[in-house]
Amino acid sequence: MTPAKSLLAADPRTRARNRAEARFRALGLGAVLLGLGALVLLVGTILANGAGAFRQTYLTIPVTLDADRLDPAGTRDPADMAAVTTFGYAPLLAQALQQHLRQRGVAMEGIGPRDLMAIISQEAPAQIRAMVLQNPDLLDRTLELEMLAGGRIDGYFKGRVTLQSAERDANVSPAQLVLAQAMADAGMIETRFNWAFLTGSDASGQRPEAAGLGVAILGSLYMMLVVLVLALPIGVAAAVYLEEFAPKNRLTDVIEVNISNLAAVPSIVFGILGLAIFINFAGLPQSAPVVGGLVLTLMTLPTIIIATRAALRAVPPSIRAAALGLGASKMQSVFHHVLPLAAPGILTGTIIGLAQALGETAPLLLIGMVAFVRDFPAAPPEGLFDPASALPVQVYNWTQRADPAFVERAAGATLVLLGLLVTMNLIAVMLRRRFERRW
Amino acid sequence: MPPIWILAAVLALGALGYALGRARAIASAAGDIRVLHSLPSYYGANAFLAATVPALLVMVAWLMIQPGVISGRVAAMLEAAPEAEALMLSDLRRLAQGLDRAVAAGDLSAAAARELDAETTDIRALLAAGGAALGTDVTPETLAGAQRYRTLTRSAGLAMGAVVISLSGLGLALALRLTHRDFRARNAVERAVLALLILASSIAVLTTVGIVLSMVAETLDFFNLYPWRNFFFGREWVPRFEGGSALGLLPLLWGTLYITFIALLVAVPVGLFAAIYMAEYAGPRFRSIAKPAIEVLAGIPTIVYGLFALVTLGPMLRDYFAAPLGLGTSAASVMTAGLVMGIMLIPFVSSLSDDIITAVPQALRDGSYGLGATQSETVRQVVLPAALPGIVGAILLAASRAIGETMIVVMGAGAAARLSLNPFEAMTTVTVKIVGQLTGDTDFSSPEALVAFALGLTLFTITLGLNILALYIVRRFREQYE
């Protein structure tokens, strides 16, 4: 016989089972926390990498716009002055900087004229040239001009470049950084919020400090416009038919299976479709928002159809019965009563579909949206056919550049993208909270 | 005539139709709308639909067909070899567009553009000033082709405008003629709206047909240029644009499956345990926060995961694991892409499994508790077996998602096609090569570009098969408890 045991003391087998229970539970909690941790890590690293893109370093120095050099013909006619390229403006800036530094008594140890020029962004001469060409009256005046600092100098003030890393860097020397610090102490260099990042256009691979998201944001906006205009009516119409009118037969079965499968087709396949049909067959231009919009429309349709059907199904049959009972036709009951009641759900589904479309990258690569685009597209409808970029593609584009400063830009662009997505999803959640009705 | 103006004209006719139709109906009833068959607005709507719908459908069809017909006509004139034809046509189209743009910008008068001579003027320089970059110099032949293209396009545009607007007017006249107090306008309008609804729902089918057709045609072209055996069973992937490429699918498929395997190795245990915890253990407060938070992972665009792989995880794995262990020196690797993709897939596995576990009837659990099982024993021995088909379905859906995923592998897996077991080496996938072969300037008649369509079709078939299998399993399971 087994010895008598107290009921209050667990036997070894029960203890083992309880331990297994606790272990299992801890594993489950661990998995949830791992998932949450991954989310935090993902967003955290992007935030850490990208926050710098929203701040930019500028330097302000007095520059004399020497008319003899910028307008050798002396006509003050912008057409003649355009003969002086940015190479004519660059030495002017370098001289002005050198002179100003001497006046202010800032030490320039180990800095040659070439090193001095590297403190100013290569974009600065172009900006000043554009300003002078627009307003030739500025010539021969001395102006306090603000210009972009070079990418490495910018990186130094954001902590991306340090004196140690500069020793291994061919593009910047520690002496330049020391000088930049001295200039900052003298109030010539400041780092502040970077509007140009949101409004400017892309810049070439040597000028990360000048690269902005303007064209990409506009391109994404145009595409969302196309998606909204096409996918919302078509998706709602398809859903209304399938949910309210379609007879149960083979054809509707085929359509339904089709829609649920389309939702799971890899996005890159839609890119191939867009390339083959819209560009190669229909002859639409590459890189155009209209093509991107069409491809994204096809991708968004299943989302909107599925959301709309769910919203229609949530409207109780009594509404339809009441409308029919008062003499409305089937069509009138749907369009006058059911559809308005389903509108919040449809809207929510549409916003979520748009948010998905906004973040989609792969199909846009295939229809040529990776091209380097500096010019803003025109206003719609013509602008829909102009080359443009898109936010997620711009992120990809910047990660492909050699200069590490573009990583900061790419992460910054990702933050803009995530900010837009969060806003859209919050709007969807708010709509749902505000208008959701339960019968 | 630009399509936008035609569209505006048709819409204006439609609006006019609405007003006239409504007024005519009321007039026919002598102002007493009770004797009308339908409400007055239905007569208006009928006229609007008659004026706009057929005309706009014809316009869309015309716009789809026109480029092909014009290219065919111009190509017949060029007498070029079929291989060079596509290239010449695209040159020619660019030239024609450049000329149009120069005329629109005022750099050229319309008459001067028509009388250009390739022998005497440097057209390339002329157009470059207007912002249109041409790839090659303009020969008299392409110039003649481009001029022909322009005249054809212009006359086709005019013809389209005439046809569409007269069709719109015709529809309007017909509808107004029919408008009478006994005309069943509501029935007519409802029939038309129903037809439009059916048209809208068939777009989904058309998309699938479009996907399959566009890929099948190009894939057949590819197999004419490159033997299918070498594609499906080739163990080397070495595209050479001067010809003689080896385009074997196996290394790409291996990379795809290896990365998918690692991704599932991360996503399945984490997702499944998370789902079990949320469904069986978590209180409502914790659940209401943690569940949406994990689902946020599914809403994050894949480019963000790609950036994370490229900038953070890849270098970290290389510096702390691969390089010290002597396994590799590449930041882009199967491991990088697989881990990141695994994070992306966690919510796919967890929320589907969560739904399925919650759908297991409480009676099964109560029975198990009644027999003295602990909660974890119940989960392992009762709930999971009951939910297994659904969970398998969820895993298959996640696998299909992983196989078709593009941006993470483009940025995290590398571009080298190799058959290797070392997860810290860079490998490549089907999707990476589709992007690689189709971006940039590609000549669509070469096997190196066409192979992308064959890859796309392979990908489409695999993911479609997995989805159908998964949906089948999930559906069968659901029926058991309903």
A285-304 tens-digit pLDDT: 888 899 999 999 999 999 99
Residue/partner pairs of B67-71 with CB below 8 Å, 24 or more apart: B67/A281, B67/A282, B67/A283, B68/A281, B68/A283, B69/B156, B70/B149, B70/B152, B70/B153, B70/B156, B71/A283
| Contact between residue B427 and residue A382 where contact means Cβ atoms under 8 Å apart | no
Query: Which residues lie below 8 Å from residue A19, measured CB to CB, with a gap of 6+?
Result: none
Answer yes or no: do A269 and B459 touch at CB < 8 A: yes
* Residue at A75 is within a domain: yes
| Contact between residue A397 and residue A224 where contact means Cβ atoms under 8 Å apart | no
- Please check whether residues A410 and A314 belong to one and the same domain: yes
Residue B3 neighbours by CB distance under 10 Å: 16
- Please check whether residues A139 and A224 belong to one and the same domain: no
Answer yes or no: do B197 and A370 touch at CB < 8 A: no
Q: How far is CA A149 from the centre of its chain?
A: 24
Q: In the prediction, which pLDDT does B133 show?
A: 59
* Residue at A42 is within a domain: no
Q: Which residues make beta-bridge pairs with A147? A: A59
| Contact between residue B261 and residue B338 where contact means Cβ atoms under 8 Å apart | yes
Instruction: Identify the residue whose tokens are 């330049």.
Output: A176
**Tens-place pLDDT, residues B40-99:** 999 999 999 999 999 999 998 888 788 778 877 877 777 666 556 666 777 777 777 777
- Please check whether residues A281 and A167 belong to one and the same domain: no
With 0-12 CB in 10 A as exposed, 13-18 as middle and 19+ as buried, what is B85? middle
Residue A18 neighbours by CB distance under 10 Å: 13
Q: In the prediction, which pLDDT does B481 show?
A: 58
| Contact between residue A395 and residue A367 where contact means Cβ atoms under 8 Å apart | no
Torsion of CA A393, A399, A400, A401, to 10 degrees: 120
Please give the Cα distance from A255 to B22 (Å, whole number): 37
Q: In the prediction, which pLDDT does B306 show?
A: 94
Q: Show residues of chain A in contact with B277, CB under 8 Å.
A: 25, 28-29, 31-32
What does the DSSP 8-state code read for residue A83? T
The residue among B424 and B89 whose pLDDT is bigger is B424
Average pLDDT over residues B444-464: 89
With 0-12 CB in 10 A as exposed, 13-18 as middle and 19+ as buried, what is B287? middle
Rounded to a whole number of angstroms, the distance from the CA of A42 to the nearest CA of chain B is 7
| Three-class SS state of A58 | strand
Q: How many CB pairs under 8 A join A and B?
A: 266
Which residue of B193, B252, B273 is the best one to mutate when testing the A interface, meaning the one whose CB has the most A CBs within 10 A? B273
Lowest mean pLDDT: which of A126-130, A173-177, B139-143, B266-270?
Answer: B139-143
Token representation of residue A87: 């190479």
Q: Is B216 on the interface with A (CB under 8 A)?
A: no
* Residue at A186 is within a domain: yes
User: Residue A42: closest CA among chain B residues belongs to which residue?
Assistant: B308
Query: Which residues lie below 8 Å from residue B471, measured CB to CB, with a gap of 6+?
Result: A260, B393
Answer yes or no: do B210 and A237 touch at CB < 8 A: no
Radius of gyration of chain A (CA): 31
Q: Is B234 on the interface with A (CB under 8 A)?
A: no
- Please check whether residues A177 and A260 belong to one and the same domain: no
Token representation of residue B43: 């007569």
Residue among B204, B277, B312 minimizing CB distance to A258:
B204
Give how far Cα B464 sits from Cα of A83, A276, A359, B202, B404, Å.
Answer: 60, 20, 23, 19, 10
Please give the Cα distance from B297 to A359 (Å, whole number): 13
- Please check whether residues A425 and A324 belong to one and the same domain: yes
**Tens-place pLDDT, residues B362-384:** 999 999 999 999 999 999 999 99
Instruction: Identify the residue whose tokens are 């009833």.
Output: B29
Average pLDDT over residues B179-188: 89
Q: Show residues of chain A in contact with B85, CB under 8 Å.
A: none
- Please check whether residues A153 and A281 belong to one and the same domain: no
Question: Which range marks the domain in which residue A335 is found?
Answer: 214-435
- Please check whether residues A250 and A159 belong to one and the same domain: no
- Please check whether residues A234 and A177 belong to one and the same domain: no
Q: In the prediction, which pLDDT does A85 show?
A: 78
Please give the Cα distance from B404 to B401 (Å, whole number): 5
Report ipTM for this prediction.
Answer: 0.90
Which residue of B186, B311, B403, B409 is the best one to mutate when testing the A interface, meaning the one whose CB has the most A CBs within 10 A? B311
Please give the Cα distance from B55 to B59 (Å, whole number): 6
Q: Which of these, B68, B62, B70, lies nearest to B6 by C-alpha position?
A: B62
Answer yes or no: do A361 and B218 touch at CB < 8 A: no
| Contact between residue B37 and residue B60 where contact means Cβ atoms under 8 Å apart | no
Rounded to a whole number of angstroms, the distance from the CA of B458 to the nearest CA of chain A is 10
* Residue at A198 is within a domain: no
Does residue A358 carry a pLDDT above 90? yes
Q: Which of these, B266, B267, B233, lies nearest to B252 by C-alpha position?
A: B233
Lowest mean pLDDT: which of A101-105, A241-245, B130-134?
Answer: B130-134
Residue among A20, A267, A370 minimizing CB distance to B406:
A267
**Residue A251 corresponds to which amino acid?**
L
Q: Show residues of chain A in contact with B401, CB under 8 Å.
A: 264
Answer yes or no: do A17 and B297 touch at CB < 8 A: no
Residue A45 neighbours by CB distance under 10 Å: 17
Residues 267-306 of B with CB under 8 A from A: 269-274, 276-278, 280-282, 290, 293-294, 296-297, 299-306
| Three-class SS state of A191 | strand
Q: What percent of chain A has pLDDT over 90?
A: 39
| Helix B82-105, helix B140-178: angle, nearest 10 | 70
Helix %, strand %, coil % of chain B (to 5):
80, 0, 20
Q: In the prediction, which pLDDT does B270 show?
A: 96
Q: Show residues of chain A in contact with B308, CB under 8 Å.
A: 42, 45-46
Query: Which residues lie below 8 Å from residue B344, measured CB to CB, with a gap of 6+?
Result: B263, B267, B297, B298, B300, B302, B305, B405, B408
Answer yes or no: do A425 and B273 touch at CB < 8 A: no
Q: Which of these, A254, A243, A354, lies nearest to A305 by C-alpha position?
A: A243
Instruction: Identify the residue whose tokens are 């129903």.
Output: B194
Q: Tally the C-alpha atoms within 13 A of residue B178's C-alpha that lie toward its C-beta.
A: 21
Domain count, chain A: 2
* Residue at A35 is within a domain: no
With 0-12 CB in 10 A as exposed, 13-18 as middle and 19+ as buried, what is B200? buried
* Phi, then psi, of A391 in degrees rounded to 5: -55, -55
Query: Which residues lie below 8 Å from residue A310, measured CB to CB, with a gap of 6+?
Result: A345, A349
Please give the Cα distance from B403 to B378 (Å, whole number): 34
**Tens-place pLDDT, residues B284-307:** 999 999 998 998 999 999 999 999
Residue among B194, B376, B400 minimizing CB distance to A20:
B376
Instruction: Give the strands of the sheet with A142-148, arranged side by side.
Output: A142-148, A55-64, A189-193
Please give the Cα distance from A403 to A397 (Å, whole number): 12
Token representation of residue A304: 């909107």
Q: Is B60 on the interface with A (CB under 8 A)?
A: no
CATH number, domain at A319? 1.10.3720.10
Q: Domains in chain B, start-ordered, CATH in brackets?
A: 3-208 (no CATH), 237-479 (1.10.3720.10)
Q: Which of these, B298, B480, B479, lies nearest to B405 by C-alpha position?
A: B298
Q: In the prediction, which pLDDT does B335 show?
A: 92
| Three-class SS state of A222 | helix
* Phi, then psi, of A190 in degrees rounded to 5: -140, 155
Residue among A240, A245, A301 minimizing CB distance to B203:
A301
Please give the Cα distance from B277 to A32 (Å, whole number): 8
Does residue B118 carry a pLDDT above 80? no
Average pLDDT over residues A411-416: 94
Token representation of residue B4: 């936008």
Residue among A260, A264, A273 minimizing CB distance to B463:
A264
- Please check whether residues A189 and A222 belong to one and the same domain: no
- Please check whether residues A166 and A234 belong to one and the same domain: no
Which residue of B222, B260, B307 is the best one to mutate when testing the A interface, meaning the one whose CB has the most A CBs within 10 A? B307
Residue among A31, A46, A366 minimizing CB distance to B435:
A366
Which residue of B57, B60, B197 is the best one to mutate when testing the A interface, meaning the one whose CB has the most A CBs within 10 A? B197
| Contact between residue A63 and residue A124 where contact means Cβ atoms under 8 Å apart | no
Q: Which residues make beta-bridge pairs with A55? A: A193
Please give the Cα distance from A425 to A210 (Å, whole number): 31
Answer yes or no: do A355 and B299 touch at CB < 8 A: yes
The residue among A165 and B391 whose pLDDT is bigger is B391
Arithmetic mean of pLDDT over chain A: 86
Answer yes or no: do B459 and A266 touch at CB < 8 A: yes
- Please check whether residues A185 and A218 belong to one and the same domain: no
Residues in chain A: 439
* Residue at A270 is within a domain: yes
* Residue at A73 is within a domain: yes
* Phi, then psi, of A56 in degrees rounded to 5: -140, 145
Preceding amide of B385 cis, omega within 30: no
- Please check whether residues A388 and A431 belong to one and the same domain: yes
Give how far Cα B190 sits from Cα of A237, B173, B186, Å.
Answer: 13, 20, 6
Does residue B218 carry a pLDDT above 50? yes
User: Residue A41: closest CA among chain B residues belongs to which residue?
Assistant: B308
* Residue at A31 is within a domain: no
Does residue B113 carry a pLDDT above 90? no
User: Residue B71: closest CA among chain A residues belongs to which residue?
Assistant: A283
Residue A263 neighbours by CB distance under 10 Å: 16
Q: In the prediction, which pLDDT does B482 show?
A: 47
Answer yes or no: do B304 and A241 touch at CB < 8 A: no
Q: What percent of chain B has pLDDT over 70?
A: 89
Does residue B405 carry a pLDDT above 90? yes
Please give the Cα distance from B377 to A13 (Å, whole number): 14
Average pLDDT over residues A342-359: 92
* Phi, then psi, of B246 in degrees rounded to 5: -105, 115
